[in-house]
Structure 1
Amino acid sequence: MLAYIGRRLAIAIATVLAAVVISFLLVHATPGSPGAVVLGPSGTPAQIAAKNHELGWDRPLWIQFLDYLGHLVRGDLGVSLIDGRSIGADLAARLPVTASIAVLATLLSGVVGIVLGVTAAVRGGWLARIITVGSGIGLSLPAFWVGILFVLVLSLQLNLLPATGYIALSQDPLGWLGSILLPVLTLTVGGAAIIARTAAAGMREALGQEHIRTLRALGTPTWRIRYVHALRFTSVPVVSVLGIQFIGLFGGSVIIENLFALPGLGQASQAAVSAHDFPALIGVVIVATAVVVVTNLLLDLMVAALDPKVRTA
C-alpha cells in the first residue's frame, strides 16, 4: 500500500508542475504584455517597454520561470496587474465558495443518486422505469437552464431562496446555506441522474455475482445481501464517478457562479481572462489544478481501499 501511495504522490506532484509550466508558457505566448495591461490604452510604446523592464518581462524566459517557481514554493502567487491585490489572498477567499458548492452538490448527488439507483435495481418494475426515464431527463437538461428554472420558481415566484449573492459562513450560517442552495440544487439534478444510473447498473451486476448466490443459499438475510455485500461491490464505480463529478463541478464552475453572482474561482478566472491579468490567471490555474490533483489522489486511495485488486494493478 505504501508503494502505491508513493507512486500516486509522485504522479500528483508531476501533474501540478506540468500545469505550472504549461500555463506559464501559454501566458507568455499570448499577445500583449503586463506593461500594456498596467498602463492601458494611453501607454506609449516607450512607457510600456519601461514597465515591462520594471516587471522583469524582458528577462530570459527560463529565468522568469525559475523566479516564479521560487515564489510559488514559498506560497507567493504574486499580485494582480489590475489593482495590485495579493492573488494568493484573493483566491484563498474565493476557494471556499467554489469548494463548498462542489462538495455539497457532490454529496447530495451521491445520496439522492444511490437511493434512486439502488431502489431501481432492487424493486424493478414500473418504479425502475420511472427512475430510468427521470434520470435520462436529468442528464439531458443543461445546468444553466436548470438554474434559470429554479430561479424562476423558487426565487421569483415562491420567494423561498435568494436568486443571487453570497453570504459568508462565518457571517451567517443560515444565510450562507440559503445563498448556495440554489446553485447546489442546480448541479445536483444532473449529478444525481449520473449516480442513479451508475448505482443501478452496479447493483444489478452485484446481485448476479456468484458470491451473492452463495450467500442466498446459506440463508443470509436479504437486507444484508443487498445493503451490505452488494452495495459494497457497487460502491467502487459510484465512488469513481463521484470523484470525477466533483472535479467537473469544481473546474466547470464559471457558468454557475456567473449565473448566481457568486465570488468564486470561476468568476475570478473569467475576470482574469477579460482583463488580461496574467498573474491572476496563472494563479487560478494552479489552485484549480492542485485541488483536482488532491481529489484524484484521495479518490485513488478510496478505490484502492474498497478494491484491493487496484493496489496491485
Structure 2
Amino acid sequence: MILFVIKRFALAVTTVFVVSVLVFLLVHAGDTTPGVVAVGIGGTQEQIEAYNEQIGWYDPLIVQYLAWLGSALTGDLGTSLTNGSDVLDEILRRFPVTASLAFGATVVSSVLGVVLGVTAAVRRGLADRLVSVFAGMGAAVPAFWLGIVLVFVFAVQSSLLPATGYVRFEDSPSGWFSSLVLPVLTLAIGGAAFIARQTRASMLEALGQEYIRTLRATAMPTWRILYVHALRSASLPIVASIALQFIALFGGSIIVEVLFALPGLGVAVQGAVGQADAPAVQGIVVVATLVVVVVNLLLELTNSFLDPKLRTS
C-alpha cells in the first residue's frame, strides 16, 4: 500500500510539473510581452523594453522558468500586470467561491443521482423510465439556459432568491447560502443526470451477481442487500463519476460564474487571458491543476481501499 501511495504521489507531482512547463511555454509563445500590459497603451517602446528587461523577460527560458518555479515553491506566484495585486492573494480570495460552487453542486448531484439511479435499478418499470427521461433531459439542457430559467422563476417572478452576486460566508451565512442556491442547482442538474445513469448501470450489474442471489435466498433484509452489499459492489464507478463531476465543475464553471456574477477563479482566468496577464494565468492554471491532481489522487486511494486488487496496478 505504501508503494502504491508513493507511485501515485510521484505521478501527481509530475503532472503538476508538466502542466506548469506547458503553461509557461504557452504564455511566452504569445506576441504580447509583460511590458506592453504593465506599462499600458500609452507607454513608449523604451518604457516597455525597460520593464521587460527589469523582470528578466529576455533571459533564456530555462532561467526564467527556474526562477518562477523557485518563487512558486515558496508561495510567490508573482504580481498581476493589470492591477498590481499579489497573484496568490487574488487566488485565495477567489478560490472559496469556485470551491463552494463546485463542492455544493457535486454534493447535490451525487445525492440526487445516486438516489435516482438506485431507484431506477431496483424499482424498474415506470420509475426506470422516468429516471431515464430525467437523465436524458438533464444531459441535453445547456447549463446557461437552465440558469436563465431558474433566475426567471426564482428571482424575477417570485423574488425568492437573488439573481446574481456573491455574499461571503463570514459576512452572512444565510446570504452566502442564498447566493449559491441557483448557481449550484444550475450545475447540479446535469451532473445528477450523469451520476444517475452510472449508478443505475452499476447497480443493475451488482444486483445480477451470484452472491446477491445467494443473499436473497438467506432471507437477509432487502435494504441491507441493496444498500450495504450491492451498493458497495457498485461503488467504484459511482465514486469515480462523482470525483470526475467535481473536477469538471471546478475547472469548467466559468459560464455559470459569469451568468451569476460570481467572483470565482473562472472569471479571473478569463479576464487574465483577455488582458494577457501572464503571471495571473500561470498562477491560476497551476493552482487549478493542483486541485484536480489532488482530487484524482484521493479518488485512486479511495478506489484502492474499496478494491484492494487495484493496489497492484
Q: 2: CA distance between counterparts of 1:234 and 1:100?
A: 28
Partners of 1:280 and 1:41 in 2: how far apart? 19
Residue 108 of structure 1 is matched in structure 2 by: 108
Match of 2:164 in 1: 164
CA distance in 2, matches of 1:134, 1:271: 35
User: 2:279: which partner in 1?
Assistant: 279
User: Which position in structure 2 is the counterpart of 1:61?
Assistant: 61
Code of the residue aligned with 2:288 in structure 1: it is: A
**In 2, Cα distance between equivalents of 1:124 and 1:254:** 37
Letter in 2 for 1:40: G
Residue 300 of structure 1 deviates from its aligned partner by 0.7
1:24 paired residue number = 24
Find the residue that maps to 2:263 and give its secondary structure: coil
- In the alignment, the residues of structure 2 paired with residue 115 and residue 83 of structure 1 have an alpha-carbon distance, to the nearest angstrom, of 47
Q: Partner amino acid for 2:19?
A: A
Q: Which residue of 2 aligns with 1:43?
A: 43
Q: State the one-letter code of the partner of 1:30.
A: G
Partners of 1:31 and 1:121 lie apart in 2 by: 55
Amino acid in the other structure paired with 2:248: G
Gaps of 5+ in 1: none
Q: Which runs of 5+ in 2 are unaligned?
A: none
Tell me the residue number matched to 1:126: 126
Equivalent residue for 2:97? Answer: 97
Structure-1 separation of matches of 2:223 and 2:278: 57
Offset of residue 19 of structure 1: 1.0
Kindly provide the CA deviation profile for residues 126-174 of structure 1, in whole angstroms up to 9, marking residues without a partner as x. Answer: 1111111111111101111111110111110111110100000111101
Offset, 1:25? 0.6
Q: What secondary structure does 2:40 align onto? A: helix
Displacement of 1:311 in angstroms is 1.2
Distance 1:100 1:50 in 2: 42
User: Shift of residue 287 of structure 1?
Assistant: 0.7
Aligned position for 2:177:
177
The SS at the match of 2:167 is coil
Partners of 1:74 and 1:127 lie apart in 2 by 55
Using the TM superposition, give the Cα deviation of residue 214 of structure 1 relative to its aligned residue in structure 2, in angstroms.
1.4
Q: CA deviation at 1:301?
A: 0.8
Post-superposition offset of 1:220: 1.8
Secondary structure of the structure 2 residue equivalent to 1:163: coil
Runs of 4+ in 1 over 6 A off after TM superposition: none
Number of matched pairs: 313
**Partners of 2:230 and 2:158 in 1: how far apart?**
42
- 1:52 matched to which residue of 2? 52
1:41 counterpart SS class: coil
State the AA in 1 paired with 2:299: L
What residue number does 1:195 align with? 195
One-letter amino acid of the counterpart of residue 28, structure 2: H
d(CA) in 2 for partners of 1:47, 1:312:
59
- Matched letter for residue 35 of structure 2: G
How far apart in 2 are the matches of 1:230 and 1:139? 26
When normalised by structure 2's length, the TM-score is: 0.98
Q: What residue is the counterpart of 1:256 in the other structure?
A: 256
Deviations 1:73-113 (A, max 9, x none): 10100111111111100100100100011011101111001
Note the alpha carbon deviations across 1:225-273, whole angstroms, 9 max, x for none.
1111001011111100010110000000111100000010001001101
**Equivalent residue number for residue 209 of structure 2:** 209
3-state secondary structure, aligned to 2:41: helix
Shift of 1:312: 1.7
Match of 1:77 in 2: 77
Query: How far off its partner does 1:277 sit?
Result: 0.6
- How far the C-alpha of 1:218 sits from its partner, in A, is 2.3
Q: Distance in 1 between matches of 2:118 and 2:83?
A: 52
Q: Which residue of 1 aligns with 2:247?
A: 247
**Matched residue, 1:293:** 293
The root-mean-square deviation of aligned C-alpha atoms, in Å, is 0.9
Is the aligned partner of 1:147 residue 2:147? yes
Show the counterpart of 1:14.
14
Q: Percent identity?
A: 54
Cα deviations by residue, 1:262-293 (Å, 9 ceiling, x for unpaired): 01000100110111111001011011000000
